[in-house]
Structure 1
Amino acid sequence: MASDDAPKSASRDGDAPIARAVTINRPRAELYAYWRDFAKLATFMENVERIEVIDEKRSHWVVKAPAGSTVEWDAIVTEDDPGALIAWVSGDGADVPNSGRVEFRDAGQRGTVVTATIDYDPPAGIVGKVIAKLFQREPAIQARRDLRRFKQLMETGEIATGARNRREHEERDA
């Protein structure tokens, strides 16, 4: 599978963490710096409504969930190795308890391999996972899509969308 398809790099068995990776043709330090500015993450993370940076270690996330609802949590940075790694855990009272890490590794002349690993506890357990998948809001699906959008943004300065094509189809079918 091509690297821009954000291949699965770890299996999802039960409650095992989800890991996705993509190779981006940009320097590691540049990609890390963009990601570390948490307020910018909403520019490519499709379901993130907003991220409010509280301080260097904490941020408040508001994310779209199935059926038009939102979920919120405070994320706390637990490890920060400039240019290489950012790890976090959600604070007490999170709607969706989660933790994870984003790693940046040199890929020679191809750029940087960015790997996002996410572990989460969805509301309503397995039922919540099934509903989230039906609405395409499940983190395994979103991680792949978000990494692909991050790659597009970092390599081209924009994110390709099908918005015009959808609108044209809707107008033609009306």
Structure 2
Amino acid sequence: MRNHVSRVTSAIRGFGLGMLAMYLFDPDVGRRRRAFVVDQFESARNRLTHFADTAYRDAVNRSYGIAARLRPGTGRLQPVTAHQVEERVRARIGRVVRNSHALRVQARDDGTVVLSGPVLANEVNRLMSAVWSVRGVTGIEDQLQVHEQPGNVSALQGALAHEGRRGAGMAESWPPSIRLLAGVAGGALALAGLSRNRPLGMLQALLGGALVTRALANRKLGEVTGMSGPRNVHIDKEMFIAAPPERVFDFWQHQEDFPQFMRNVEEVRPTGEDCWHWKVAGPFGPVEWDARITEREQNRRLAWHTVQGAPVESEGRVDFEPAGEGTRLRVSMDYAPAAGAIGHAAARLLRRDAKTEIDEDLMRVKSFLETGVAARDASARRAAEDAQRLH
């Protein structure tokens, strides 16, 4: 059994090294991929340095807090002012409600907290639990305006209207010091397991890897793998285009032209009123889905949502704002990768994730609207060149 496990482990390592070599030393795009990997490592190093500094300060502050609590005379019976209660409640609800800025908090001298303002229905229970957990709160007066959908409530714009979307798992995040401790412990456990060619060692390595993944992603493992909870990746993009909003908006309405500017979009065709069928090149073959325009405000906003059962779930909006002689374009989008955060990370490494593609595609759109020259590396142009070569 031990020899079999050793052979399986060696085969996995060899396969992984072979795939890595093929990816990095591809004769056509290997140089660009190696440069991209170097950039990613540099970015990761900077983020890790910043995170270590944040974790250190968090650990120090928590140590001071624990010491203060253990000091005589600082027990739970110490009086708390209404202002302190208000500030504590505001800090706490910011972790569990995405649009916490829309809520108004007022604390009375007797410890009663008055909550008012618009909130989504699926956030009410988390909100109430968070407020009750604040020391000094003796009661809650509910004056909230509960909405099932964001609708036309400006304060709720950008909030996703149902469970399982971004923001639902905010209360499950770990503080920086705990993440650092869990990451170090998980890494040590994984390395110890990999050094043992036994089934117990493999289990140990898996547990360590899971702990490291949980610490890095700061989300539940089910959410990271896309098996449960909020699976969405949120993207915000803003760009200035030297063209009037009317022209930019008109271009965005004609989605059948998108393959000329979007490198991996093979086809977009209308299937009904405000309904479109998309066909996009994927790492393992084309992926197709249907989407519907859900909001259309002439020269100001377009919003969409994929239909139920689509293999790629997404929703978002594009805002067109006049800016001098041009247009300030704002894209806000949420999409669910097939394998959760892990699938998004893998796609990002291959530069096939939605954020990278949107960045590149928007630059092509900007160039076309400003110069009138279509992109040369878009899907439609590439397909036409392939067809010419075949003939």
Q: Do the structures match in fold with TM over 0.5?
A: yes
> Aligned pair 1:153/2:368, yes or no?
yes
Residue 161 and residue 42 in structure 1: after superposition, are their counterparts in 2 closer, same or farther (change >3 A)? closer
Once superposed, what is the RMSD of the aligned Cα atoms?
2.1
How does the TM-score come out when normalised to structure 1? Answer: 0.79
Alpha-carbon shift at residue 160 of structure 1 (Å): 5.2
More helix by share: 2
SS at match of 2:329: strand
Give SS of 1:66's match: coil
Q: How does 1:1-80 map to 2 (within 5 A)?
A: 15=232, 17-67=234-284, 69-80=285-296
**Residues 128 and 16 (structure 1 numbering): CA distance in 2 closer, same or farther, change over 3 Å?**
closer
Alpha-carbon distance, 1:76 to partner = 0.7
Contact 1:50 1:61 in 2 (8 A): yes
Q: Which residue of 1 aligns with 2:336?
A: 121
Q: Which residue of 2 aligns with 1:136?
A: 351
Q: Which residue does 1:172 correspond to in 2?
A: none
Amino acid at match of 1:93: G
* Higher relative contact order (CA closer than 8 Å, sequence separation 6+): 1
Task: Report Cα offsets for 1:113-167 as digits up to 9, x if no partner.
Answer: 111111100101122112211221111111111111100011111245579xxxx
Structure 2 residue corresponding to 1:82, chosen from 291, 298, 318: 298
**Structure 2 segments unaligned to the other structure (5+ residues):** 1-165, 167-216, 220-231, 379-391
Aligned to 1:103: 319
1:151 match: secondary structure = helix
Aligned partners of 2:254, 2:375: CA distance in 1, in Å?
22
Contact 1:29 1:83 in 2 (8 A): yes
Unaligned runs of 5+ residues in structure 1 are 1-11, 164-174
Identity of aligned residues (%): 35
How many residues are aligned here? 150
Instruction: Give, as a single letter, the amino acid of the residue that structure 2 aligns with 1:138.
Output: D
Q: Using a 3 Å threshold, how does the CA distance of structure 1 residues 162 and 91 change in structure 2: closer, same or farther? A: closer
Please say if residues 243 and 369 of structure 2, whose CA atoms lie closer than 8 Å, have aligned partners that are also in contact: yes
Taking structure 2 as the reference length, what is the TM-score of the superposition?
A: 0.36
